Chain A
């Protein structure tokens, strides 16, 4: 029994991408799409970053000086950055929370994320994070949906190969919220998860579900040390 468990654990580890071989989704895009992300003056996400900056100055700068490094350390203990912003809104400011995928929330997370651009993602497998990371990892490796596919099957085992004309990336959330060309707009990691769930013909969880935060935490742990690119452009 112990041997079986050890072998199973070893198999899980070998399926993971070795740390040195991890590549951001940026590297799987065409030259022109990368240029869209690199040029701050023409990155369409700039429209949201500016909105976020205006909102931050009005609503948040009373308590917060700047948010450098913050986005690289979220989610924390089961709370995502979206949720933390709304916790401040409802708890401290006694204001209505921003809806998920609203212009305000995307603007703020883009602006806050932008301030951590270039910084390494930090996610520790510690006691506070462990329960969420374990559930996130289980979700990542679990087959689901009518197509009965696990995230790991595409993003660990078959990254770099093509699915329906698109190259399969490794699924590191290095640039969220992103300007996705498919959406022709800005969106959060939750929105992207929902696209994947629909892609495997699974019923997506509701916005704000803990499953999304757990998976986000696991993916951030999987991407630990990689540089944040927020706000990224992705196909």
Chain B
């Protein structure tokens, strides 16, 4: 339980910083969508990203958004002439859109990575593969994120 002293301290801090970034802007969804598009553009440039070749595997209903196991597999022979150079993963609703950028090559043998991400809210997760011929391919999965029932931070 919060003591009276702590509560007074807290509320005075909130008043003092009420103009600070503690408040989320009302157009958060639009801002995050814009951030996602810019992040993808930063990675991909002007090139067209086509759906296909990439398989993003993650549960459609997520037990807990803090740790979401996922894997990305790209259909590629992984030869010197034809291989995956990089796999980038993005999310739609996180405070910032990047998850991981993995750099592969012909020595990888297979184009497959597995990891665990944080996904803040129900929305899309996007995997983009950059091939050695300069083309970009993607897969998008929509996921539902649920909240845990019994938490430690009582006031939230």
Contacts and interface: CB of A to CB of B under 8 A. Distances in A.
**Do A and B have CB atoms closer than 8 angstroms in the complex?**
yes
B151 A184 contact: no
Describe B's contact surface by its main secondary structure.
loop
B130 to A, nearest CB: 26
Contacts of B152: 183, 191, 194-195, 198
Interface string B58-81: 110111101111000000000000
Contacts of B67: 36, 44, 181, 184
B151 A203 contact: no
Which of B68, B69, B149 has its CB near the most chain A CB atoms (within 10 A)? B149
A163 B151 contact: no
A191 B150 CA distance: 11
Given A35-B69, A164-B147, A30 B154 contact: no
Interface residues of B, number: 20
A219 B9 CA distance: 41
Nearest to A202: B154
Which of B63, B146, B154 has its CB near the most chain A CB atoms (within 10 A)? B63
B47 to A, nearest CB: 32
Contacts of A30: 59, 61-63
A166 B146 contact: yes
A199 B149 contact: yes
Interface in B98-137: none
Interface string A106-128: 00000000000000000000000
A199 B151 contact: yes
Contacts of B147: 164-166
Given A30-B63, A181-B63, A198 B69 contact: no
Contacts of A201: 154
Interface string A205-223: 0000000000000000000
A32 B59 CA distance: 7
Contact of B150 (A31, A44, A199): A199
B1 interface: yes
Contacts of A32: 58-59, 63, 68-69
B69 A33 contact: yes
A231 to B, nearest CB: 15
Nearest to A34: B63
B3 interface: no
Nearest to B150: A199
Nearest to A203: B1
B148 interface: yes
Contact of A29 (B63, B148, B151, B153): B63
B59 A166 contact: no
A183 B148 CA distance: 10
Interface string A41-66: 00010000000000000000000000
A192 B151 CA distance: 9
Which of A191, A199, A201 has its CB near the most chain B CB atoms (within 10 A)? A199
Given A32-B59, A182-B66, A192-B150, 17 more contacts: A30-B61, A32-B69, A35-B69, A44-B67, A164-B149, A166-B147, A166-B148, A181-B67, A182-B64, A182-B148, A183-B152, A184-B67, A195-B152, A196-B150, A198-B150, A198-B151, A198-B152
10 contacts: A33-B63, A36-B67, A165-B149, A181-B63, A182-B64, A182-B148, A184-B67, A195-B151, A198-B153, A199-B150
